Amino acid sequence: MKRFGHRDAFLFVQSLVQAQSSFSEALIKQIHSLVLMDRPEDRGIYRRIPVRILGAFHEPPEPVLVPELMEKLIVEFDNKKMHPLQRAALFHLKFEGIHPFVDGNGRTGRLIMNLFLMQNGYPPINIKFTDRKHYYDCFDWYFRDGNAAPMVEMTAAYVERQLRRYLELIQ
């Protein structure tokens, strides 16, 4: 069932891009609701319990702080003037650091990353399972060392691969 929820969420993200929808907290919750189609009790609802990310350096904030942190994050990225690849990667790092939901944070965060990319004319990316360790290392480098560059570089590399694939298809 998770696959259907993710597919529906991706189609929803594509519709947001086409409609040039504004980014908002409600939009994040809508994406999450589609991702967690199989768990109606948790869909689009910020977590009310503490969570830990297994094997991660970073510990997400207490649940009582989540709504305020999400509000600040949305305002921060609504006003940011930075390169779209950097914006997508940095938002993803910070969103996952807040870890606002009990489940589905990674899928929701990657869909939001793709929303940012597609809104700026870039292709969507799909981080491969084979790159999972490097992907998780990027979070540790950011939260332990304050270094967002590895996630920005990983995002840019995926975008470049997608663009090359598209060029190969049209040639």
Question: Length of the chain in residues, anyone?
Answer: 171
Per-residue pLDDT tens, the chain, 171 aa: give them.
345 688 999 999 999 999 999 999 999 999 999 999 888 889 999 999 999 887 788 999 999 999 999 999 999 987 668 999 999 999 999 999 999 999 999 999 999 999 999 999 999 999 999 999 999 999 999 999 999 999 999 999 999 999 999 999 998
8 A C-beta contact, residue 151 and residue 97: no
Query: Alpha-carbon distance 107 to 32, whole Å?
Result: 8
The H-assigned helical ranges of 20-103 are: 25-35, 66-79, 84-98
User: Cα-Cα-Cα-Cα dihedral of 152, 76, 52, 11, to 10°?
Assistant: -70
- For residue 25, CA distances in Å to 31, 75, 131, 138 come to 10, 10, 29, 25
Give the single-character DSSP code of 124.
P
Domain boundaries, given as residue ranges, for the chain:
60-170
**Catalytic residue, candidates 6, 32, 92, 99:** 99
Q: Is 58 a catalytic residue?
A: no
CATH number for 60-170 (one of 3.40.50.720, 1.10.3720.10, 1.10.3290.10, 1.20.1050.10): it is 1.10.3290.10
User: At residue 141, what is the residue type?
Assistant: W
